Each structure stands twice: as C-alpha cells, then as structure tokens.
Amino acid sequence: MATPNTATRTTSETASKTVNETVNETVNEMPAIAQKFREQLVSTVQQSHQLSLDAAQTWVNIFSAPLMELPRIPGLLNMHNMQAATKFNFDVASDLMSAQREFVVQLTRVLLPAKTT
C-alpha cells in the first residue's frame, strides 16, 4: 500500500507530466513573438532573483554580528525547519497551480469549438 507521501508524489508526477505535455503542445501553437516574450520575461525574473540573492548575501556579510537567541514560541517552527517548510509550501502551490492549469486547459477544450484542419 502506498504511503500518503508516495500517493501525493505519484499524483504530482502524473499532473506534472500532463502539464509538461500540454506546455509542449502550447509552445508549438504560440507565435514566435510570444515565445520570445516568454523567454525574456523568465530571464528577467531570474536575473532579478540573482540580484536579490546577491544583495541579501552582501547584507548578511556586512551585518554578520552574532544575533541574540530569540525566545522559543510554542507552535512556531525553528529556523532550521523554515527551509523545509518553505519548500513544502511551494510544492503545494506548484501542485495546486498544475491542477488549476489542467482544469483551465480542459475547460477551454470544452468551451471552444474544435479546430478544423
């Protein structure tokens, strides 16, 4: 019997494959100018991410004095678990976005007339 994590991972992998197939179909149908815009947009976002990371690293290096120990608050994650919690939350958001995308793609197939070739 599959564990909940395995079942979620399998569902997520299946959804990702479906989305990737749909993305590949969509890429082939979009005009070249739209593809160029997409590439430039993603590149710009990635560059801004890198600039933000560089600025954060510089800030940490400048202000790396030892910090006082913060009080423990029951129910809140400690700092070591924050990275895992962040990854988990983004994985959930990604799964929801994939499911939403697949729904909208299927909905457009139902609502829009079929192409005639």
86 is in which domain, residue-wise? 78-109
Length of the chain: 117
Task: Say what the pTM is.
Answer: 0.47
* Residue 10, C-beta contacts closer than 8 angstroms, at least 6 positions apart: 2
H helix runs in the chain, sequence order: 4-29, 32-62, 79-111
Total domains, the chain: 2
Asked whether the beta carbons of 17 and 25 are under 8 A apart, the reply is no
In this predicted model, what pLDDT tens digit does every residue of 25-51 receive, in sequence order? 655 678 889 999 999 999 999 999 999
In the chain the first and final C-alpha atoms are separated, in Å, by 46
User: Six-digit token pair at 65?
Assistant: 């004095």
11 part of a folded domain:
no
- Based on the fold, state whether residues 58 and 34 are members of the same structural domain: yes
Residue from 93, 101, 89 nearest 15 by CA: 101
In this predicted model, what pLDDT tens digit does every residue of 48-59 receive, in sequence order? 999 999 998 888
